[in-house]
Structure 1
Amino acid sequence: MAIRLGGDGDDMEEMSEINITPFIDVILVLLIIFMIAAPLATVTVPVDLPVSTATAQPDPQEPIILSLQNDLTLSIGDRAIDRSMLAAELGRASKGDTQARILLRADKGVDYGDIMGLMDDLRKANYLKVGLVTEDGTGPAPQ
């Protein structure tokens, strides 16, 4: 608590204002300390890790390739399928695993709405891990 001294010294009254300057100084000092200490807290212990001679394990399951051609015919791999049998054919190809990855290859002439309709059919069949396949863009630029 601060006291303001008057002119004659007899009427000492309390000052109810807070001096915030020391508080800001303390916060700035703490900020600087943390800014210096934070990078030092990372683990930089040198460890010579052993080398593994085991071969890398392949992905446990190959993705299912679903192709949509320009005339809206569907194929799983090289086998043409009827769209009404999509869920059953995917179940056979994935051995009933709805968590199987499906890679969708669609001809660039296929309407966007048709692709979204096929993806909606895949969602209704509970196949949610769907990826879209494109060609590598390193070739010549389209005209």
Structure 2
Amino acid sequence: MALSRMSDDDEDGLMNEINMTPLVDVMLVLLIIFLVTIPAMQHAVRIDLPRASSQPEEVKPAHIDVAVQADGTILWDDHPVSDDGLRARIAEVARARPQPELHLRADRKVPYERVADVMSAAQAGGLTKIGFVTDPQPKKRK
């Protein structure tokens, strides 16, 4: 009886090499897809869109100078007005957009009631922005 080697592993065993054919097929298909789609992406339609600025436009509202003199006279932009005229003008400018600021300047000797009347008329007329203007005292020389 002769002893023979029973090593048929090379013919019946598993293949331990990677089959490259399916990988090459997939790569060729992807190459063809990319070659077809790239020229289509280059033919884009050019559109001139308007450019918008990100900065809001700041419109500075006008201001109205109202002065109360020492004798109680009210000046609207350096023109004397009566109490009824003051209320009418305040109602007129309160409708403007943007609403102007009321700069109130009062003499030192005017009673506070007169200034309070002007502020009350401005509030009743619809003005929401009131600023007080003061004149600094002159420096005394030694």
Q: TM-score, normalised by structure 1?
A: 0.50
- More relative contact order in 1 or in 2 (CA 8 Å, sep 6+)? 2
Which structure is higher in helix share? 2
